[in-house]
Structure 1
Amino acid sequence: EYDVDDLLPAMAAGLSHDGTLYAAPFYGESSMVMYRTDLMEKAGLEMPEAPTWEFIREAAAAMTDRDNEINGICLRGKAGWGEGGAFITVTANSFGARWFDEDWNAQFDQPEWKNALEFFVGMMSESGPPGYATNGFNENLSLFQQGKCGMWIDATVAASFVTNPNDSTVADKVGFALAPDTGMGKRSNWLWAWALAIPAGTQKLDAAKAFIEWATSKDYIELVAAKEGWANVPPGARTSLYANPEYQKVPFAKMTLDSINAADPTNPTVKPVPYVGIQFVAIPEFAGIATEVSQEFSAAYAGQQSIDEALAKAQALTNDAMEAAGYR
């Protein structure tokens, strides 16, 4: 019996339209802080369960040790809407920024975006790794596993990688916290579901449906747990997983669920917006626009242009694209 009511509400809602589920989540994720407990202790600080960006910046500076190649913080700066673009969007959300106002006008000329970018670049210049403008998920994962990051804010699914002693040199020294905020009511975490769906024209409907039912089922989770251990099961899709006493022993289980529950794609920003989505805007044009915007931001991170220049270009190209698409 496929228990559709067991799907986490946040994941089911993101894959539904008018109450109908159009895809089944294989796993889901938010984002959170992963940090070195030993370096935090050495710095004389204690990570709050719900930190502010100011604390993160302070802790990053305190944990940075250039002589020993330890960067206080590792974050995505790589161009791409789903790489650095996703990260700076959720960061900006927490600073009160938004992609568009209610009339689909770009908002990169507003002070919230400048505040977010200046904070990000300042913190990364102080405490980030060299060349962070070209680092994405995989590069930062490698740095963290090698013991070269004090903190990493990224996908909750990465928790199982950084705590795996087969891959991570710091597996027994990792703690977790909610993504930071600025006190404005929005945290800098995203929501994303990796899901399976069936194209309308398929010739193999029954086989496809049977596979999806199996691959997203409770039985599949039990199978992975038996073979790979509970820490490595697909997270973030089913409510029952987080009620399982065995999974509750996994050190990052509760924070992953809390992070997912803290994300609201229907109300992603401090000010009202006409779109759904936290680290993205759910319109067909977004991937192309946001990739171009992220390229301008990455150029600013790399010192190839100023933050003001990057924001001005982002404002112009976004408004041009939205006008061409008929939104304005």
Structure 2
Amino acid sequence: MTLTLRALMGACAVGALATAASAQDTTITVATVNNGDMIRMQGLMDAFHEAHPGIEVEWVTLEENVLRSRVTQDVAAGGGQFDVMTIGTYEVPIWGERGWLTALDDLPEEYDVDDLMPAIRGALTVDGGLYALPFYGESAMVMYRTDLAEAAGLEIPDEPTWAQIKDAAAAMTDKDAGVYGICLRGKPGWGENMAFITAMANSYGARWFDMDWNPEFDSEPWQAAFGDYLDLMTNYGPPGASSNGFNENLSLFQQGKCGMWIDATVAAGFVTDPEESTVADSVGYAVFPNKEGVDNHGNWLWAWNLAIPTSTDAPEAAKAFVTWATSKEYTQLVAEEEGWRAAPPGTRQSLYETPEYQEAAPFAAMTLDAMNAATPDSPSVQEVPYAGAQFVAIPEFQGIGTAVGQQFSAALAGQMDAEQALSNAQQLTEREMMKAGYIE
């Protein structure tokens, strides 16, 4: 790290993050997801320790589904196992309303809370109070191999339809060479395969529930969306796709095994990393597809956030950490050490006004446009009683979404057909919604 940056980080800590003064000789435990940005942060902790010599940080780094299960159990029971939790925009409003999270409304002026993207800040706010700080934000996009598209004589439009995506997947597939036309999430979980499939269903005009909270998996839009998903993955996807989530597909794309990958915009910084990706110089981008005739590109809105459970016995040390890790100064640190392309995206407006980032990240403008286009309050072209672009913002969704995801993953693995999976999803969702009192 440069001397100038060390001085900057130290000065910031003294002024902006003064909470460390009362958090000396403390160890905090941070539960986080095993995504690339979170792993990168662990490698940059020397800067935090220089600014906060009295705080030690222990990490519990978990696969996404395991993380969600562990932190949910701990926070609901008030267990106090973790001082900082990495959670999403789904959990924050629910847990904040239940009093499980510490409010973060007295942030120092230098943190510049007004620089946070309004949509992300709003998603983390409950009754006017901020209950988590965003580490990175995202929507979804198409990432594709420009070299394969050119070789196939394809021109992928900036706003493709699913029919065009299917044609491109067919043209790019060369199974003998180990290249598959498309990679999509298949691993079961409400935040794994169901994040993608829900967004895809939205883009077909489907919805999870009608205005009386009746499930709609027996509707034509759901049948069309899920049928096309299975068709794409069965004919043009990689083997073993029912076990692939974000990280697995990222690795496949970086190794040159995917013609297209439709997933979170945050992935763009990793597929264009020349040290990690063999196709870094051959990546193009397009917005999340829609079904022809449906005015919905399935834009989702998500952020991984750092929150402090009320059960922590080290709130000041935890606050020092979460403010540091989500600050402008941390973004500058990443840029200095890893390059501007690697800066955590999607949380601060100032990042997208930075010329160096605009130059280093050709995906920046599309990411920003996709996030701004997301409409989590009206995710479908049909009227819905819920919010949430790639999830349903009710407490019961964590269990229901995972159970439905298991059915859909089983269909992808060939254990049942689309009709059976949708019928099972309909029945189990009806049962759980009856139990919860939404329907009779």
Q: What TM-score, normalized to structure 1?
A: 0.96
Structure 1 position 195 matched with structure 2 position 305: yes
The within-5 A match list for 1:1-328 is 1-182=110-291, 183-249=293-359, 250-328=361-439
CA drift at 1:313 = 0.8
Which residue pairs with 2:107 in the alignment?
none
CA drift at 1:206 = 2.8
User: SS of 2:181's equivalent?
Assistant: strand
Q: Distance in 1 between matches of 2:159 and 2:129?
A: 34
Unaligned runs of 5+ in 1: none
User: SS of 2:182's equivalent?
Assistant: strand
Q: Distance in 2 between matches of 1:19 and 1:31?
A: 28
Deviations along 1:27-51, whole A, 9 cap, x unmatched? 1111111100111111111121111
Q: What is the percentage of aligned positions where both structures have the same residue?
A: 63
Kept in 1: contact 2:299–2:375 (CA 8 A): no
Unaligned runs of 5+ in 2: 1-109
Q: Distance in 2 between matches of 1:17 and 1:166?
A: 41
Kept in 1: contact 2:298–2:379 (CA 8 A): no
CA drift at 1:89 = 0.7
| 2:300 aligned partner, one-letter code | W
CA drift at 1:294 = 1.0
User: SS of 1:161's equivalent?
Assistant: helix
Q: Distance in 2 between matches of 1:217 and 1:158?
A: 21
CA drift at 1:219 = 1.3
Kept in 1: contact 2:208–2:215 (CA 8 A): yes
User: SS of 1:112's equivalent?
Assistant: helix
| 2:389 aligned partner, one-letter code | I
Q: Distance in 2 between matches of 1:285 and 1:78?
A: 20
Q: Distance in 1 between matches of 2:127 and 2:189?
A: 31
CA drift at 1:243 = 0.5
| 1:321 aligned partner, one-letter code | E
Deviations along 1:59-99, whole A, 9 cap, x unmatched? 11111112211111111112111111111111001011111
CA drift at 1:181 = 0.9
Q: Distance in 2 between matches of 1:72 and 1:7?
A: 37
Give 4+ residue runs of structure 1 displaced > 4 Å after superposition.
none
Which residue pairs with 2:21 in the alignment?
none
Q: Distance in 2 between matches of 1:197 and 1:124?
A: 36
User: SS of 1:96's equivalent?
Assistant: coil
User: SS of 2:233's equivalent?
Assistant: helix
Q: What TM-score, normalized to structure 2?
A: 0.72
User: SS of 2:401's equivalent?
Assistant: helix
| 2:202 aligned partner, one-letter code | N
User: Larger radius of gyration, structure 1 or 2?
Assistant: 2
CA drift at 1:57 = 0.8
Which residue pairs with 2:47 in the alignment?
none
User: SS of 1:72's equivalent?
Assistant: coil
CA drift at 1:255 = 1.5
CA drift at 1:201 = 4.5
Q: Distance in 1 between matches of 2:122 and 2:376?
A: 9
Kept in 1: contact 2:298–2:389 (CA 8 A): no
User: SS of 1:149's equivalent?
Assistant: coil
